Amino acid sequence: MTLKIFYWNCGSGLVRKLDFIFDLIRVNNVDVFFVSEADFSIEQNPQVLNIDGYETVFSRTLKSRNKSRLLCFKKSAIQTLNCGSELDEVITLSYQNVVIVGLYRPFKCYDGETERTNLDRLLRSLGEHDLSKETFIIGDFNIDIDKAESRFYPELMQFADSKALTSVSLGITRARWVRDNLQESAIDFILTNSSKFKTSKEFCELSDHCVIKMDCFRFDPIIREKKVITITNWKFDLELARNFLDMELKALPILSSNNVDDIDYWIRACLIRTSLKFVKVRKLTSRNSNEIAERKKC
C-alpha cells in the first residue's frame, strides 16, 4: 500500500481555499494533509473544516494563542501523538511503525524571543520524538535548503546529522514577485531516515507556495497458501502434474490484475510449468508389491 502525505503553505485565507484542498484530498485519496499559515482562530466554526472520512487536528497554539497556524486533515486510522508545545506549530502523527511530523516555523517571532531562540525551541521539540523509527518530517522551515549560506542552515543540518536524518530538497517551492524582483526559495522540504518514498510538487495560483506531495511505500509481508497434491495413479504422475498447473494458470486473470504480488506468483507458476520435465516416482520394490497390485486394479 501507499501512504499519501501532502503539505501546503496556503498563504493565509484557509476557509476561502477549502474547495481546492478538499478536491486534492478526494482525488488523490490523501491520508494526511498538513496546511500551514492556516491562521484558524478559536472564534471560527471548526465544522467548516469537516470532510467525510477525515478528522481535523490543530496545533496546540489554538488554545494557548487562540490561533492555529498549522492544522491537518487525517484519516482515522492514523494516530495523533502530539500537537506541539504552546508556541510551536508542530503536529506529530503515527501510523503502524511510521512517525509523521508536520511543522511550520514562522519567520516572525513571538514577543520576547529571537529567530535563534525560535529555531532552538523547534529543534528541541523535534528532538523529543523517537526518531529511531521510520520518520518523515515535512514542512515550511523558512530556511533555504538549497543555499548553504542561508541563515540557520548549518544548525539545521547539524540537527539532521545528529538524528541520522537526510534532507530532501524539492527545488524551488516558493515563488513571489516583490516589486520587479522574483523571489524564489526552497524553504519547504523533508527530513527523513527512510528511502521508501517519492515526492512531487504542484504549483497553484492560490498561494506563493507549492503543494508538496509525498508517497510513502509500505511493504506488507506476503502470505501464500500452500497446496499439497496427492497423486494416486503412479503411472501418470507427469501428465497429472502438468494438467494441474494448466488449470491453475487458466484460472488466473493475469491480464486484468494490477497486483504485483499476484503477478509475481503467476510468473513463478509459469516458470514451473514450462521447466517441468519429470516428476519423481517412488521406486517400487518387492516390499510394497501388495500396494502395486492394488494400484493396478484402479
Say which DSSP state 235 is in: G
Of 249 and 165, the structure prediction assigns the larger pLDDT to: 165
Contact at 8 Å (CB) between 4 and 30? yes
* Average pLDDT estimate for 183-188: 95
* Average pLDDT estimate for 267-274: 58
Q: Cell digits for 277?
A: 520435465
Q: Is the dihedral of CA 248, 254, 257, 261 positive or negative?
A: positive
Q: Cell digits for 87?
A: 508556541
> CA 52 to CA 62: how far, in whole Å?
23
Contact at 8 Å (CB) between 8 and 23? no
> CA 93 to CA 80: how far, in whole Å?
5
Contact at 8 Å (CB) between 60 and 91? no
* Domains of the chain by residue range: 2-217, 234-297
pLDDT tens string 71-120: 999 999 999 998 888 889 999 999 988 999 999 999 888 888 888 988 99
State the architecture of 2-217 in CATH terms: 4-Layer Sandwich (3.60)
* Average pLDDT estimate for 128-144: 90
Distances (CA, A) of 260 to 60, 105, 114, 264, 277: 42, 40, 52, 6, 28
* Average pLDDT estimate for 201-211: 95
Per-residue pLDDT band for 229 (boundaries 50, 70, 90) equals: low
Looking at every residue in the chain, the average pLDDT score rounds to 83
Residue 67: which region, alpha, beta or left (left: phi > 0; alpha: psi -120 to 50)?
beta
